[in-house]
Amino acid sequence: MPRLLLRGADLGDVEAVLFDKDGTLSHSEPNLLSLAQARVLACLEQVAVAQRAPLQDLLERAYGLQAGAIHPAGVTAVAARDHNLIATATALAQVGLGWPEALTISEAVFAASDQGDRRRSGEPGSTSNLTAGLRPLLEELHSAGVACAVISNDDRAGIEHFLASHNLGGLFAGYWSAEHRPRKPDPAAVHGLCAELGLAVGRCALIGDANSDLQMARAAGIPTQLCIGYMDGWSSPPPLGEPHPLIHHWSELRVQAAG
């Protein structure tokens, strides 16, 4: 069986690598930043002038907006669309709107903002870029017979558009999206994806940019040394905890073919 090496250190046998998408496979920050800013502005237009300053502060903190960047552990970076919507409605409720009105406004804002989401617009260059050095690693894994899969809180359409836009379909065996149940960070999401692809959980690695990814992987039964944190997907490094090994560039990870 192929073995995974990190900076020359042997991490063990692998038959598959499960990848997070935003902030791991894709440099999503520019497009997510634009989307979050559009949602903030659209929400501000729906409330009274006196409510705008406190609402803007609440939304920016909830979304993880900071100095023209996205906090890699914030709701925009990590959570599914419906959790972002609930966070938005909660902020609206905190400035005095009733919950039904807050939820209705949030749904309308998200529907309108989705129309301008460049990640899935279909325009040339609209999808998020691959993180630096990713494709050679994916090709190396594929050549060594190691399956690759996506486990993400993006929806099916977003994952499929990303893979198709970068011609990665042939390098990925499948994916688990926000529309699958259960979804991450439930450890059963790892079990579901592995069962769907006929993989043994204990012979998989998982690479993600959030503590919730790595904790999920360990709870699912992936060996600790194969629960790997990726550090280079955001303008500020994600706050990942020990004892997980960390990757700063994809060139640090290599595959030793079986035999």
Q: Is 43 in the same domain as 20?
A: no
Which segment of 36-50, 102-116, 181-195, 201-215 scores lowest on mean pLDDT? 102-116
- Residues 174/149, Cβ–Cβ less than 8 Å: yes
Query: What pLDDT score was predicted for residue 257?
Result: 85
At 143, which amino acid appears?
A: S
Question: Are residues 72 and 189 located together in one domain of the fold?
Answer: no
Backbone phi, psi, residue 13, to 5°: -70, 145
**Helical spans, DSSP H, in 95-166:** 99-115, 134-143, 156-165
Checking if the pLDDT of 20 tops 60, the result is yes
Percent of the chain with pLDDT over 90: 86
**How many structural domains compose the chain?**
2
Q: Are residues 230 and 160 in the same domain?
A: yes
Domain ranges, residue 136: 3-28+129-256
Q: Which range, of 111-115, 135-139, 149-153, 195-199, averages the lowest pLDDT?
A: 111-115
Based on the fold, state whether residues 208 and 176 are members of the same structural domain: yes
Based on the fold, state whether residues 24 and 41 are members of the same structural domain.
no
Same domain, 56 and 145: no
CATH code of the domain covering residue 215: 3.40.50.1000
- Burial of residue 12 (number of CB atoms within 10 Å: 0-12, 13-18, 19+): middle
Which of 65, 91, 120 is the endpoint of a domain? 120
Q: pLDDT at residue 210 above 80?
A: yes
User: Do residue 205 and residue 137 come from a single domain?
Assistant: yes
Tell me: do 48 and 102 sit in the same domain.
Answer: yes
Q: Of 91, 120, 149, at which residue does a domain stop?
A: 120
* Residue 101 and residue 157 in one domain: no
CA distance linking residue 221 with residue 200, whole number of Å: 10
- pLDDT of residue 117 exceeding 90, the answer is no
**Per-residue pLDDT tens for 164-199?**
999 999 999 999 999 999 999 999 999 999 999 999
How much is the pLDDT for 124? 46
23 and 33 in a single domain? The answer is no
Summary mean pLDDT of the chain: 93
| pLDDT, tens digit, 9 for 90 and up, residues 53-73 | 999 999 999 999 988 899 999
pLDDT tens-digit profile of 223-258? 999 999 999 999 999 999 778 899 999 999 999 987
- Residue 127 above 90 pLDDT? no
Whether residue 126 is predicted with pLDDT greater than 70 in this model: the reply is: no
Statement to judge: residues 67 and 158 lie in one domain: no
Torsion of CA 7, 12, 15, 21, to 10 degrees: -50
Residues 77 and 9 in one domain: no
Identity of the residue numbered 5:
L
Rounded CA gap, 91 and 103, in Å? Answer: 10
Domain-terminating residue out of 96, 120, 144: 120
